[in-house]
Structure 1
Amino acid sequence: MIKAMAEKGLWTSPGGKTPDATLYSAITREVSAKGADSRFKKTGRGRFASNGKRD
C-alpha cells in the first residue's frame, strides 16, 4: 500500500523506519477525527477502504 500510494502521489513517507505504522496511524486519526467525512472507512481489524471522498 505504501508503494502504490507513493507512486500515485497520494502519500509520502516522512522517512521513518516504520512507514506502515505511520500510515496506519494517520488513517486511524483521520477516521476518528472526521468520522463520516473521512476519506477512509474502517472495514475490519487493520483494514480500510476508500470512503469515496477526496480533499
Structure 2
Amino acid sequence: MVEAMAKAKLWASPGGKTPDATLYAAILRDMRKGKDARFKKAAPGRFTNA
C-alpha cells in the first residue's frame, strides 16, 4: 500500500525506517476526526473508506 500511494503521489513517508507503521499511525489519527474521518476500521488491521 505504501508503494502504491507513493507511486500515485497520494502520500509519502517522511523518510522513516518503518513507512508501513507511519501510514498505519496516520490512518488511526485520521479516524479520530469522527464523522469527518476518511477511513473506518473494517477488521483488525484493515480499513475502508468512510
1:27 alignment counterpart: 27
RMSD value over aligned CA atoms? 0.9
TM-score w.r.t. structure 2 length?
A: 0.89
Alignment of 1:1-55 (within 5 A): 1-32=1-32, 34-51=33-50
Q: What's the secondary structure of 1:43's corresponding residue? A: strand
Q: How many residues align?
A: 50
- Structure 1 runs of 4+ off > 3 angstroms? none
In 2, Cα distance between the equivalents of 1:46 and 1:36? 20
TM-score w.r.t. structure 1 length?
A: 0.82
Listed as ranges, the gaps of 5+ residues in structure 1 are none
- What percentage of residue pairs aligned between the two structures are identical? 62
Listed as ranges, the gaps of 5+ residues in structure 2 are none
How far is 1:8 from its partner? 1.1
In 1, Cα distance between the equivalents of 2:34 and 2:41? 10
